[in-house]
Structure 1
Amino acid sequence: MRKIVLKSALLLSVMFLISCDQDFNTIGSDVIGDDHFGLEKKEDVNVIAYTKSTGQVQSNNLPSNMLGYYSDPFFGTTKASFVTQLTLASVNPNFGFEADITTTDSVYLYVPYLSKQTATGSGNEPNTYELNSTYGEDFETATFDLKIYKSDYFLRDFGTNPEERQKYYSGATDRSLVEANLDGVPLNEFTGALASETTAFKFSKEEIIIYKRNAAGDFLDSSGNVTTDESARVVSQRLAPGMWINLDPLRIKDIILNASSSDLINNNIFKEYFKGLYFQMTENNPDEDALAYLDFSKGYIMMQYHSKDTDEATAEVKKKSVRINMTGNTINFFQNNFSSAYETALNNSNSTTGDELLYMKGNDGSVVFIDLFGPDTDVNGVPDQLEQLRSEKILVNDAFLTFYVKNDGQKNATRIYLYDATNNAPLLDYIFDSSTATDPKNNKLLFGGILEVDEDNEDLGVKFKIRIRSHINNIINGDNPDTNKNVRLGLSVTDNIANSSSYDVFDSVNFGNEKLPIASIISPLGTIVYGNTTTDESKKLKLEIYYTKPN
């Protein structure tokens, strides 16, 4: 294993050019080194860190969305549901004459999972895939009661103020608005519906293959002849693994084929007419969990039908199709059943002295706030400890916050994100780090926050280490009073280190002016780390500053 030691800011800038493809458990220990020869070290910096519950979080139009049920041994369970608007792939469609959905037509819904192809099948054999961003100990076996409803609740673009985008939140408040406006029975429950698409749905990594058929629905071979030989079927289309669900053809016929032409003339009107779909999953066994990210923006409904091009009696009846895309406004809802231990920790958090343990949980869970440099006894807006460091005019060569993991049964998040919580913005060290890795989740590896694990047990997390040299140097030596302020820091789990944007929380009175990183909202994971009041000095949260003094 190659050891990389960072000794100075110059070497740090050179390291930005390095692309690293090591595993996450190696990166933290090798790239962010512990050797700082010839430098003085200050580690008695006053640090106060505490946990804050987020409550409901803004969750409309997220960059990725999840569906399913996730169980964490410590934090508890989370169930994710989803609602989306729909748009016509081609507006103002001409269905022709005598349009009808026949017994040989199908109406199906397809939403791809996040996946990567790993092998190519020969002939009409399926290609092989692996799924990305899946969670749950029983992902391939857990089954669900899946319900896909027609939603009659309109998702607005703007709020009461026409200049402000509408915000929807993850909890029961907005979810109840949708669930109170569902149209009848689910669209995937009808005579002939398969249990694997309704009451016994499960996620699958299998490729979806559509074979060529004639107008009567028979399979065809390469010569265009009807065949019953599965190996002779001609592949018409291959789809990456995803949710493939047949929908009630009679209801879709009524919604689309029987619609007034004025309801289909453009997508603004169509979204008012067919307001969307609501996806709801109920676990069949609470001891089995499975949750996946779905790329709903690439999802669609495909409605097949037959019609004539003219109204002549002898005109040929042709098979046609209409595609309805899952684009427009969306909301991801989260239903939590937190453990009593986690609830107690949230209720007992102390923002004055800090906490013994710090709890980060994604979705609508919790984040950590950190205040540096202690009290301001002379009430001049600058902490006493920071004033002393500024007077010494030290040159900051490096600085780290290290968080030791308490393995308390939770399934550890593999990365955390430190940010400016006062201004809801990334830190300078995050901005300056352009380093990349083979796995994009390990990009900005010099900034850090990647879980280091035990060499003998990769399931056992050890610590997270985050470099904040530029941030600390700017606070101590920056000469711009508008940008060198000692801001409050925020710490959250992250599912996408490249996304530094923030969203609102529902209870802004309790949470303050701070927003929440979107990358935390889209992660179901959590982790527990030691804080500043733990009695275990070897695990205590510390800020380490490596510096030299001027001659």
Structure 2
Amino acid sequence: MLNSSILKKFTLFFVGFAFLASCDKDFDGIGSDIVGDDHSDFEKEFVDVNAFSIKTGVVETTNLPVNPLGIFSNGKFGKTTANFVTQLELATENPVFKNVPIERLKTVILKVPYFSHVEDVNSDGVTTYKLDSIYGDRTATMKLSVYENGYYMRDFDPNNNLQAQKFYSDQDAVFDAAKRGTDDSGNSVTGGLPLNNASAVGQNTAFVFSPAEISIPAATEDGAATKEAPQMRMELNKNFFHNKIISTPSSNLVNNNIFKNHFKGLYFQIEEISGGALSMLDFSKGTITLTYDDDKATIIDGVETVNGTVEKTLVLNLKGNTASLLKHTATPESNDYEIADGIDKLYLKGGEGSVAYIDLFAGDNAALEELRVNAITNNWLINEANLVFNVEQTDMINTIDPNRLYVYDANNSRPLLDYSFDGTENRVKPKYAKTYHDGIAQLTGASGDSDRKATKYRVRITEHVKNLIYKDSTNVRLGLAVTETIANIGNLSVKVPPTQQTKKIPLTSVMSPLGTIISGSTSATPADKRIKLEITFTKPN
């Protein structure tokens, strides 16, 4: 027979397990199954906070893992034009060309994969894809020009004690002024034609982010076509690359350090025709492939003899230093955002945008100390602590909601303890990992509806609050930002920080093109919409 001590432990475990299970449901139901006459020891405390949002201004965009490219008008947040610049690296350093005249250079193909997923495969084996991480009018045509970058992207800054060189969102004018194109002979010239000047206008003057499967014809009549997932795929000027790579002195290709000085990279410039779309791209997976015929040589008795030709390839990877180049343009819809002070409503926007700051207990140390004394003296146990943010849905009409918000320690530019404690994963959708820490948008409608909108966001900060109450930790200012992915917790610099805490902001906010407007914490905000810290305690009877 179980003794009373073991029985009590088992009962406590069962109640705790039931409570945790309930936490995975919509937050409005937290504790709803356990608060009642039989469980009156569970109580919720509401703690006031002070919150405000502030525009970051120009932000660092050095070497982002994912970069935007395109044009995106997002309702209240105006229009963003996103260009991109990258260095190039030889996949094989010090290549050797025996005899490759221009007529032997068959193709020069640039490829950058899109984020996509399969929707259907028909009976003929044709795969239908849908593009992910793309915003705006997916059918919009734009002008995309790819130039030679003429501005050297050095690794270290000689004006800052040789610290790592930083590149900023406002440097498009610098790269635009230095860009180089090609003349009719393939020479690199200022003011020349873009490198993507093929006759197929879908690759340049009528560019669109196409979800179509790529079918590459077979090299022989009896061969099968090669099929690839959707991608930016374009032919580049063969004369230019023959001059720049094959005909250049071999000393320019010895290693990638020298090569990056010889060929400074590519500059992607997008221009609006009518409307636009913006896609998030992992340019580091991009390549330029030169396919050419070279002499096929054999050595017999120490003598080299040419015996026909052999097809070869040389690959350039889109790797090295990169920068996302952003231009914000106000629109009639974005007037509120342009002039807002960010108190009654908080404006959160990725890229060259805005973040918010939150002071728990409204900065009132006496209120925090009172709660500490009550909790410790009366043996209150914290079950859960949540920050809840209500979306100003009327303002978010015609504006795309971000999937997630991120709360962090703004004083020290690092994640909260709750981030580290949450080991939940989502292998199918990595952006939705750490689901217990949360921050994921709660949506209207049912799964599968095309018009779902965010109503609120909840972020669990239980471990952070436990440390405040029981371990007398510092009540640091918290930061709040949109996030493109929860997996990356790095930070980037703000060029001219408006506040001490804004010297650095989360890298994932810089990556995101989206924004949201949430209710503030002032008396001008309806009480049921204000930002609150909700703490659920177990209070012994």
User: Does TM, scored on the shorter chain, surpass 0.5?
Assistant: yes
Pairing of 1:151-550 with structure 2 (within 5 A): 151-160=149-158, 161=160, 164-171=163-170, 174-184=171-181, 185-190=192-197, 193-213=199-219, 219-222=220-223, 234-235=224-225, 237-285=226-274, 288-310=275-297, 315-339=307-331, 342=334, 344-345=336-337, 347-349=339-341, 355-376=343-364, 383-392=365-374, 393=376, 394-407=380-393, 408=395, 409=397, 410-437=399-426, 438-455=428-445, 458-479=451-472, 484-508=473-497, 510=499, 512-533=501-522, 534-549=524-539
Residue identity opposite 2:368 in structure 1: L
Pairing of 1:23-62 with structure 2 (within 5 A): 28-29=26-27, 37=35, 38=40, 39-43=42-46, 45-62=47-64
- TM superposition shift of 1:414: 2.2
**Aligned-residue RMSD, C-alpha:** 2.9
Query: Does the 8 Å contact 2:330/2:338 carry over to 1?
Result: no
The equivalent of 1:226 in structure 2 is none
- TM superposition shift of 1:439: 2.8
The equivalent of 1:231 in structure 2 is none
| Alpha-carbon distance in 2 for matches of 1:277, 1:313 | 39
The equivalent of 2:116 in structure 1 is 115
- Judged with a 3 Å threshold, the aligned counterparts in structure 2 of structure 1 residues 9 and 511 are, in CA distance, closer, same or farther, namely farther
| Alpha-carbon distance in 2 for matches of 1:238, 1:315 | 33
Query: Does the 8 Å contact 1:357/1:529 carry over to 2?
Result: yes
Number of corresponding residues: 497
Where 1:435 maps in the other structure, the secondary structure is coil
- Judged with a 3 Å threshold, the aligned counterparts in structure 2 of structure 1 residues 343 and 500 are, in CA distance, closer, same or farther, namely farther
Query: Does the 8 Å contact 1:305/1:321 carry over to 2?
Result: yes
| Alpha-carbon distance in 2 for matches of 1:499, 1:12 | 32
Query: Does the 8 Å contact 2:148/2:195 carry over to 1?
Result: no
The equivalent of 1:72 in structure 2 is 74
| Alpha-carbon distance in 2 for matches of 1:251, 1:512 | 47
- TM superposition shift of 1:50: 0.5
Query: Does the 8 Å contact 1:374/1:384 carry over to 2?
Result: no
| Alpha-carbon distance in 2 for matches of 1:450, 1:79 | 27
- Judged with a 3 Å threshold, the aligned counterparts in structure 2 of structure 1 residues 320 and 9 are, in CA distance, closer, same or farther, namely farther
- Judged with a 3 Å threshold, the aligned counterparts in structure 2 of structure 1 residues 363 and 31 are, in CA distance, closer, same or farther, namely farther
- Judged with a 3 Å threshold, the aligned counterparts in structure 2 of structure 1 residues 104 and 425 are, in CA distance, closer, same or farther, namely closer
- TM superposition shift of 1:256: 0.8
- Judged with a 3 Å threshold, the aligned counterparts in structure 2 of structure 1 residues 468 and 35 are, in CA distance, closer, same or farther, namely farther
Identity across the alignment (%): 39
Unmatched 5+ residue regions in structure 1? 1-6, 21-26, 214-218, 223-233, 377-382
| Alpha-carbon distance in 2 for matches of 1:105, 1:400 | 61
Where 1:251 maps in the other structure, the secondary structure is helix
Residue identity opposite 1:397 in structure 2: N
Residue identity opposite 2:215 in structure 1: I
Where 2:440 maps in the other structure, the secondary structure is coil
Query: Does the 8 Å contact 2:252/2:259 carry over to 1?
Result: yes
- TM superposition shift of 1:145: 0.5
| Alpha-carbon distance in 1 for matches of 2:96, 2:105 | 21
- TM superposition shift of 1:114: 1.3
Query: Does the 8 Å contact 1:421/1:514 carry over to 2?
Result: no
Output one character per residue of 1:355-388: Cα deviation in whole Å (capped at 9) or x when no partner.
2111111111111111111345xxxxxx111111
Please give the TM-score of this superposition, normalised by the length of structure 2.
0.85
| Alpha-carbon distance in 2 for matches of 1:424, 1:508 | 14
| Alpha-carbon distance in 2 for matches of 1:56, 1:488 | 22
| Alpha-carbon distance in 2 for matches of 1:132, 1:297 | 17
- Judged with a 3 Å threshold, the aligned counterparts in structure 2 of structure 1 residues 12 and 370 are, in CA distance, closer, same or farther, namely farther
- TM superposition shift of 1:135: 1.2
Unmatched 5+ residue regions in structure 2? 1-12, 182-191, 299-303
Residue identity opposite 1:301 in structure 2: I
Residue identity opposite 1:333 in structure 2: L
Where 1:263 maps in the other structure, the secondary structure is helix
The equivalent of 1:146 in structure 2 is 144
Residue identity opposite 1:440 in structure 2: P
- TM superposition shift of 1:247: 0.8
